[in-house]
Amino acid sequence: MESTILTPMLQHRSIRRFTAEAVGDGVLGELVECGLRASNTGNMQLYSVVATREEPLRSQLLEQHFGQCATAPLVLTVCVDVHRYHRYCQVNGCEEGYGNLLWFASALVDASLFAQNLCLAAEARGLGFCHLGTVLYNTARIAELLHCPEGVVPVIALALGHPAEEGRVSERIGPEGVLHREVYHTYSDDDIRRIHAVRDNDPFNREMVRQNGTRNYCEIFTTKRYPRRQNESVSAALEECLRKQGML
């Protein structure tokens, strides 16, 4: 494919090892500016991002992500944030009403758009990052570490820095697996097998199956990475956190 502005997106690699070189305030500010240009609900911008560099907080934060990306010089935690808009309403003598599930979901979408814009800008700058999906596993503790007030919930975490590795272009299911024309198309068993063949036949994934002693790649997810009991436990803790932070 001809090299275009789309190339970095089509060749994205998660980076998990970083050099010690810092990400300067000027670059950080530029990345956040790019994030701010993302679309959002009603232009309310119901999100915030906490940039953590200093020890011991950086290490304490990464512990909540099970030690992933330990060499990352910068951790960005993107939060749903209705606290700031509530304060805006109060300062202007208006009744605030954004501490509920609707606005958590809306702000979660907005925070995701902000984060993706920021990530694209980071890669354009030659930086690398890794999305730490574990933020929702220890949300309450992360909120505590970052002193998040009511109305602020950590939802996205990014380890960011200068790459110390090339990284791997992970396999992805193709457009036929996610694109539905006009209405949703219900998948047949053959559809599912064909769509996921790229994943099941990937050499890296096949090695993972061998190492884990599972019947197939899918079973790694259902029994090792995200088993039902763990999902239910994390869900209960997340619900409790959302209630504590005034979002339910």
Q: Give the pLDDT confidence of 174-220 residue by residue, as tens digits.
A: 999 999 999 999 999 999 999 999 999 999 999 999 999 999 999 99
Residue 11, pLDDT score: 87
Residues 6+ apart with CB under 8 A from 76: 49, 50, 51, 52, 115, 118, 157, 158, 160
Residue 2, pLDDT score: 53
Task: Give me the residue label for tokens 């239910």.
Answer: 232
Whole-angstrom CA distances from 232 to 43, 217, 227 are 34, 22, 9
Residue 100, pLDDT score: 95
User: Would you state the structure tokens that stand for residue 186, as one six-digit string?
Assistant: 């219900």
Distance CA 222, CA 195 (A): 19
Distance CA 33, CA 24 (A): 14
Domains of the chain: 7-168 (3.40.109.10)
Sheet containing 47-52, strands listed edge to edge, beginning at the edge strand earlier in sequence: 47-52, 74-81, 152-161, 128-131
User: Would you state the structure tokens that stand for residue 2, as one six-digit string?
Assistant: 């001809």
Q: Name residues of the chain where pLDDT drops below 50.
A: 1
Instruction: With 0.85 as the threshold, say if the pTM is over it.
Output: yes
Residue 6, pLDDT score: 83
| Contact between 152 and 81 (Cβ < 8 Å) | yes
